[in-house]
């Protein structure tokens, strides 16, 4: 019910999702009358059901207010369905801070984790780099950054089967004297941790290279870095389109290059890679971009299916039991 576009994009994405994945059933949580009205002209399916929730967490609600006053919101009810084992995962495009607080309250975290973190796989030329936190925690201590590093390392080991993934801290420079007190203290803690393959500091541009498998930062820095990168991608795609539309000759060249351009777009277009994992919890929760359209929300649903099938939270928690 939340995000910038609400159920108007969630329902078409849900219908496409069950068409693409015949083993999946989806529960739409929200205002039942509104959801049924939007589904009225769509093909019916026994694999889509509705659970009524009388309230909504607004995008401008304070997370603490949502936790105290909105236990009957669509977000809280959806998370409760996961806790009750009525669903394997929850996907939300709503208020990020509220999602983090409600998920921590309802689903609980691993015993050694104070806060869940949002992590996303960032494309790079050869390998994939996982970055966390991307917005769940905007004010982090060194201990939080240390825990994020442990979770990120466990995630890459679980998903990629990669032993001793390279873990780095995002900083304003590679020198030891750079950065704020929290980052420098977290660096010392990680350097003394034998369970993590810590390689030191990296800078913003290194996220898109193959220097590290995991890059750790607080949610404020991570969210700004992510959205800046997505903005650059959208700018480049728009500029390439405008160059190809300049005259008949450039349109002809653009037509010839269309297959390569589409392949490049599929690799880097943020809407086709929407869906970030909220890790450290006891179940799968996927955060969709608030401004995601149908194709973006579908991508978030696909990510939830993948993580539920792989049992990602269980794999991470088992590895955290060894690390912490």
Q: 90-113, pLDDT tens digit by residue?
A: 999 999 889 999 999 999 998 888
| 162, part of any domain | no
Paired tokens of 279: 């890790």
The whole-angstrom distance between residue 276's C-alpha and the CA centroid of its chain comes to 1
Q: 117-154, pLDDT tens digit by residue?
A: 999 888 766 677 899 888 888 888 999 999 999 999 98
Q: Are 154 and 243 spatial neighbours (Cβ–Cβ below 8 Å)?
A: no
Does the pLDDT of residue 292 top 80, yes or no? yes
Does the pLDDT of residue 282 top 80, yes or no? yes
- 198 pLDDT band (50/70/90 cuts)? very high
Cα angle at 121 between 117 and 127, to 5 degrees? Answer: 135
For residues 240-247, average pLDDT: 76
Does the pLDDT of residue 175 top 90, yes or no? no
| 63, part of any domain | yes
| 159, part of any domain | no
Distance between CA atoms of residues 11 and 256, nearest Å? 36
| 233, part of any domain | no
The CATH number assigned to the domain holding 74 equals: 3.40.718.10
For residues 33-51, average pLDDT: 89
For residues 291-320, average pLDDT: 90
- Radius of gyration in angstroms for the set of CA atoms belonging to the chain, rounded to a whole number: 20
Better-scored residue on pLDDT, 316 or 252: 316
CA distance readout (Å), 12 to 33, 102, 269, 288, 296? 17, 26, 20, 15, 11
Give the chain's length: 324
| 18, part of any domain | yes
| 111, part of any domain | yes
Report the phi/psi class of residue 164: left, alpha or beta, with left for phi > 0 and alpha for psi in -120 to 50: left
Domain that includes residue 78, residue range? 7-116+274-323
**Res 298: pLDDT:** 94
Does the pLDDT of residue 42 top 70, yes or no? yes
| 309, part of any domain | yes
CA distance readout (Å), 240 to 254, 257, 293, 295? 9, 11, 22, 21
Distance between CA atoms of residues 149 and 201, nearest Å? 12
Average pLDDT of the chain to the nearest whole number: 87
- 253 pLDDT band (50/70/90 cuts)? low
| Domain count of the fold of the chain | 1
């Amino acid at each position: 019910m939340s995000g910038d576009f609400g159920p108007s994009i969630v329902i078409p994405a849900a219908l496409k999702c069950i068409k693409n994945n015949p083993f999946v059933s989806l529960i739409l949580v929200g205002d039942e009358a509104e959801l049924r009205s939007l589904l009225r002209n769509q093909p019916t399916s026994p694999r889509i059901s509705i659970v009524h929730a009388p309230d909504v967490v607004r995008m401008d609600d304070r997370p603490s207010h949502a936790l105290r006053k909105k236990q009957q919101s669509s977000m809280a009810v959806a998370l409760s369905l996961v806790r009750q084992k009525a669903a394997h995962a929850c996907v939300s495009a709503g208020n990020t801070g509220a999602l983090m607080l409600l998920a921590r309250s309802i689903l609980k975290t691993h015993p050694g984790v104070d806060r869940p973190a949002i992590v996303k796989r960032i494309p790079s030329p050869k390998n994939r780099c996982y970055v966390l936190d991307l917005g769940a925690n905007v004010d982090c201590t060194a201990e939080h950054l240390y825990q994020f590093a442990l979770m990120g390392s466990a995630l890459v080991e679980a998903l990629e089967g990669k032993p001793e993934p390279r873990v780095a801290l995002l900083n304003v420079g590679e020198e030891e004297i750079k950065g704020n007190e929290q980052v420098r203290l977290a660096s010392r803690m990680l350097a003394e941790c034998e369970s993590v393959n810590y390689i030191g500091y990296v800078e913003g541009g290194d996220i898109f290279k193959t220097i590290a498998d995991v890059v750790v930062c607080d949610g404020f820095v991570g969210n700004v870095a992510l959205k800046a990168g997505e903005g650059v991608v959208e700018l480049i795609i728009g500029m390439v389109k405008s160059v190809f539309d300049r005259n008949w000759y450039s349109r002809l060249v653009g037509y010839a290059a269309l297959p390569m351009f589409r392949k490049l777009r599929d690799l880097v277009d943020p809407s086709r890679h929407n869906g970030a994992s909220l890790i450290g919890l006891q179940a799968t929760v996927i955060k969709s971009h608030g401004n995601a359209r149908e194709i973006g929300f579908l991508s978030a649903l696909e990510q939830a299916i993948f993580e539920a099938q792989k049992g990602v939270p269980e794999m991470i928690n088992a590895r955290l039991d060894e690390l912490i």
